[in-house]
């Protein structure tokens, strides 16, 4: 089992979106969800610590080939790490499945086990609510994008921006974040998501009112 100290070395402290803080929050969330959903704690803990290990980070350019495949490369990293620790093939496969199935934008491998569903839900809960808003704003700012811009019809339908269209934090909310609560798998994850979703929707309504000078 990788320890917290092992994992802390794999992630940067200065990435507010996919850095160490995110991993630690997901680690604690999987623990709550796993206890409520009777999932295997060791599997979900290992999966939480390893799930973004090959992700890109602004301070570590060129760290992985692409964000789009980080779930696959992180699963391979996990296999090698757990093999070296002497885990059984069956339990390594279980962790790998959790990691390969955690990416929202890649639905080719959906979470089939309760452990994979717990990791998926925990990772997505960290993308909504108060922390989700903070991460969306931080992501936009670190990519030179605005907090708010009105999304085009084309973007809302396809997720592809028109030429010159920014990808604001509000774009991320409209295309992904507001849909997350309906994509969660476990009853406990959905329960947590309800309050986080309500708060996030209220925030973006309020943001629009303030930007329009109405509040």
Which residue in the block uniquely carries the two structure tokens 């994850």?
Answer: 189
Does residue 123 bind Fe ion (CB under 5 A)?
yes
Q: Tell me the closest approach of the beta carbon of residue 141 to Fe ion, in angstroms.
A: 19
Q: Which of 101, 97, 111, 129 is nearest to 29 (CA)?
A: 129
Least distance to Fe ion from the beta carbon of 27, Å? 11
* Stretch near Fe ion under the rule CB under 5 A, chosen from 36-44, 47-55, 108-116, 165-173: 47-55
Question: Biggest alpha carbon distance in the chain?
Answer: 61
User: For Fe ion, how many residues bind (rule: CB under 5 A)?
Assistant: 2
Bridge-partner residues for 57, per DSSP?
A: 60
With CA atoms as reference, report the closest residue to 70 among 125, 132, 18.
Answer: 18
Q: Token match 């794999």: residue?
A: 10
Q: Which stretch binds Fe ion (CB under 5 A): 35-43, 84-92, 115-123, 136-144?
A: 115-123
Token pair of 86 as six digits: 């002497």
Q: Least distance in Å: CB of 209 to Fe ion?
A: 31
Applying CB under 5 A, among 37, 52, 121, 172 the residue interacting with Fe ion is 52
Q: What is the DSSP string of 76-111?
A: HHHHHHHHHTT--HHHHHHHHHHHHT--TT--SS--
- Our CB check for Fe ion shows the closer of 4 and 211 to be 4
- Among residues 24 and 149, whose Cβ is nearest to Fe ion? 24
Site membership for Fe ion, residue 96 (CB under 5 A) = no
- Between CA 161 and CA 143 the distance in angstroms is 15
Instruction: Return the structure tokens found at 42.
Output: 């060791």
Residue 55 CB, shortest distance to Fe ion, in Å, is 6
For CA atoms 53, 54, 57, 63, the dihedral sign is positive
Report in angstroms how near the CB of residue 124 gets to Fe ion at its nearest: 9
Among the residue ranges 49-57, 138-146, 156-164, 167-175, the one whose residues contact Fe ion (CB under 5 A)? 49-57
Residues that bind Fe ion (CB under 5 A): 52, 123
């Amino acid at each position: 089992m990788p320890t917290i100290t092992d994992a802390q070395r794999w992630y940067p402290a200065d990435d507010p979106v996919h850095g160490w803080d995110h991993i630690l929050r997901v680690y604690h969330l999987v623990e709550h969800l796993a206890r409520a959903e009777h999932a295997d704690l060791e599997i979900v803990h290992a999966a939480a610590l390893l799930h973004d290990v090959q992700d890109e980070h602004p301070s570590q350019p060129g760290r992985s080939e692409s964000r789009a495949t980080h779930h696959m490369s992180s699963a391979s990293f996990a296999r090698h790490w757990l093999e070296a620790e002497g885990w059984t093939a069956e339990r390594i496969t279980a962790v790998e499945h959790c990691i390969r199935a955690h990416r929202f934008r890649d639905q080719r491998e959906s979470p089939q086990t309760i452990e994979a569903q717990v990791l998926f839900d925990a990772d997505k809960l960290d993308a909504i609510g108060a922390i989700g808003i903070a991460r969306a704003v931080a992501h936009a700012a670190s990519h030179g994008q605005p907090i708010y811009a009105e999304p085009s019809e084309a973007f809302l339908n396809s997720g592809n921006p028109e030429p010159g269209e920014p990808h604001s934090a509000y774009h991320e909310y409209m295309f992904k974040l507001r849909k997350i609560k309906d994509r969660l798998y476990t009853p406990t994850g959905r329960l947590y998501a309800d309050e986080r979703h309500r708060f996030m929707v209220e925030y973006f309504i309020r943001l629009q009112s303030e930007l329009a000078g109405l509040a």
